[in-house]
Chain A
Amino acid sequence: MSATLRFGEGNLQYDAQGRLRHLLSTEGLRERELLQILDTAESFLSIANRSVKKTPTLRGRTIANLFFENSTRTRSTFELAAKRLSADVLNIAVSTSSASKGESLTDMIDNLMAMQVDGFVIRHPEAGAAHLVARHLGDSALVVNAGDGQHAHPTQALLDVFTIRRLGGPIEDRVVAIVGDVFHSRVARSQIHALSVLGCPEIRVIGPRTLVPEELSALGVHVYHDLQAGLRGVDVICALRLQRERMESHRLPSLDEFHRRFGLTPERLQWAEPGALVLHPGPMNRGVEIASEVADGAQAVILQQVAHGLAVRMAVLAILAGAAGGV
């Protein structure tokens, strides 16, 4: 696995004036914009406590959610985020779209642009799909990558660092461990870049050799294959979803075996710092990467992550739409 994936020259995320125009990956995102997203999300978080949970910010704009891969949490929070900003939302799921009739991705985008869509939220099984669309559109509409293959899932990483910052304290002095199938995880890759930009002093990755290869240290992380050693002194634990389909590639003997060595149980949680936060991007495999007692325990902030995800996605859409300058 290469440490970074490149999809053409330059940083597509910024326009000629240096404004954030698309959110495609946390890699290449400058600290200034990353902090702007987190700070703006703080402001959106309070809106959820009002009687009217909407602002007029994106009134008259249209956001299309294109999901070529299943998702409940990400799709519904993006939908709700756009609606709470007063945008109109178009949800297109691949099974009901003309993609199943062989229409190309860019043809689909062109058709939606003919309907005056202002922004696209895209999840796709192929790495680089959102970059392809951003390159195709240029400045004419905003693009948010909601997960592309094994490459990136920037809003998940942003809501994770938002959660750490809000509930765990300053990222500049936290030790963060990412546990599980790091190799296949777009979430882990995006988390590592976001944490690095925010000055996290120590990022660890923990898992079996087949899922956490030594080459990952090229990303500036510390690699551990032993959970007890890896959790020592850790303030924040980011569990990853173990993709059951990876079993087919014979990288894991069995889910039971993974749980025995790397599953987060109440006893093993003791190996980390007292009160360490436990994050999980969902959906969880209870009894595989995380035991129910931990998932439902006092140190888990998994449901707060969902609420934070809504605020972070509102912030991303508002900032990107604002950079449009009248589009």
Chain B
Amino acid sequence: MTTDWDVTALLEGMARDLRPLIHPERVAMIGIFTGGVWLARALHAALGLQQPLGRVDISFYRDDFSQIGLHPQVRASDIPFDVDGRDIILVDDVLYTGRTVRAAMNEIFDYGRPARILLAVLVDRGGHELPVAADVAALRLIATAGEHVKLRGPDPLRLELEQREPQP
């Protein structure tokens, strides 16, 4: 079911919260496919960042590869700037277990050694399984394991909340 959260307003809130934390000339942004890239495009423009936007697909870095195999559709990661010594804003749609963020950080470190990584998410839904926290989250929820929060897009962007049987 589509929620009535206004994603555009939530994005404005994210940009507002990020501004005091960054220096637009020095910072670069990386979105995690797919939802994170949609949000990152909007944030990148709103913050007036000078470095081109980076995108990562974490399929090759997932920690559950041996259980579920390779995602049938892997997109090419592209980080078009030098990562070494850089401040990076990592953008994703939903922070849940923290495993995606861990995989993305592992991938980013294969490009170089950033000075700092900030995590910006649209929704922090709780249920973290790793010590990963968002520096900026537009929405903080306490969702149960049966609830599924998903960003649909790219045009328009909308948040969906679904009830599903909890994974065994």
Q: With an 8 A cutoff between CB atoms, is A104 at the interface?
A: no
Closest B residue to A36 by CB, please name it.
B72
A40 touches B70 (CB 8 A): yes
Which chain B positions have C-beta within 8 A of A36? 72-73
Which chain A positions have C-beta within 8 A of B109? 52
Q: Which residue of A43, A319, A324 contacts B57 across the interface (Cβ within 8 Å)?
A: A43
Report the Cα distance A56→B107, complex, angstroms: 9
Q: With an 8 A cutoff between CB atoms, is B106 at the interface?
A: yes
Q: Which of B21-69 contact A (CB under 8 A)?
A: 57, 59-61, 65-69
Q: Which residue of B65, B68, B72 contacts A57 across the interface (Cβ within 8 Å)?
A: B65
Report the Cα distance A326→B65, complex, angstroms: 8
A324 touches B60 (CB 8 A): no
Q: Which residue of A45, A51, A55 contacts B60 across the interface (Cβ within 8 Å)?
A: A55
Q: With an 8 A cutoff between CB atoms, is A54 at the interface?
A: yes
B110 touches A39 (CB 8 A): no
Closest B residue to A60 by CB, please name it.
B66
A50 touches B65 (CB 8 A): no
Q: Number of B residues whose C-beta is below 8 Å from A?
A: 23
Q: What does the 1/0 interface line of A47-69 toward B look like (CB < 8 Å)?
A: 10011101111000000000000
A46 touches B70 (CB 8 A): no
Q: Which residue of A40, A43, A321, A325 contacts B67 across the interface (Cβ within 8 Å)?
A: A325
Q: With an 8 A cutoff between CB atoms, is B5 at the interface?
A: no
Report the Cα distance A52→B112, complex, angstroms: 8
A52 touches B60 (CB 8 A): no
Report the Cα distance A128→B109, complex, angstroms: 43
Q: What does the 1/0 interface line of A27-48 toward B look like (CB < 8 Å)?
A: 0000000001001101111110
Q: Which residue of B61, B68, B74, B106 contacts A40 across the interface (Cβ within 8 Å)?
A: B74
Of the listed residues B57, B72, B73, B75, the one surrounded by the most CB atoms of chain A closer than 10 A to its CB is B72
Which chain A positions have C-beta within 8 A of B97? none
Report the Cα distance A323→B71, complex, angstroms: 10
Which chain A positions have C-beta within 8 A of B72? 36
Closest B residue to A56 by CB, please name it.
B61
Q: With an 8 A cutoff between CB atoms, is A322 at the interface?
A: yes
B106 touches A56 (CB 8 A): yes
A46 touches B111 (CB 8 A): no
B60 touches A50 (CB 8 A): no
A57 touches B110 (CB 8 A): no
Min Cβ gap B92→A in Å is: 19
Which chain B positions have C-beta within 8 A of A46? 76-78
Report the Cα distance A36→B60, complex, angstroms: 14
B69 touches A54 (CB 8 A): no
Of the listed residues A19, A47, A319, A322, the one surrounded by the most CB atoms of chain B closer than 10 A to its CB is A322
B65 touches A51 (CB 8 A): no
Q: With an 8 A cutoff between CB atoms, is A80 at the interface?
A: no
Q: What does the 1/0 interface line of B98-124 toward A look like (CB < 8 Å)?
A: 000000001101111000000000000
Min Cβ gap A148→B in Å is: 25
Of the listed residues A19, A55, A318, A323, the one surrounded by the most CB atoms of chain B closer than 10 A to its CB is A55
Chain A residues near B (Cβ < 8 Å)? 19, 36, 39-40, 42-47, 50-52, 54-57, 85, 318-319, 321-326
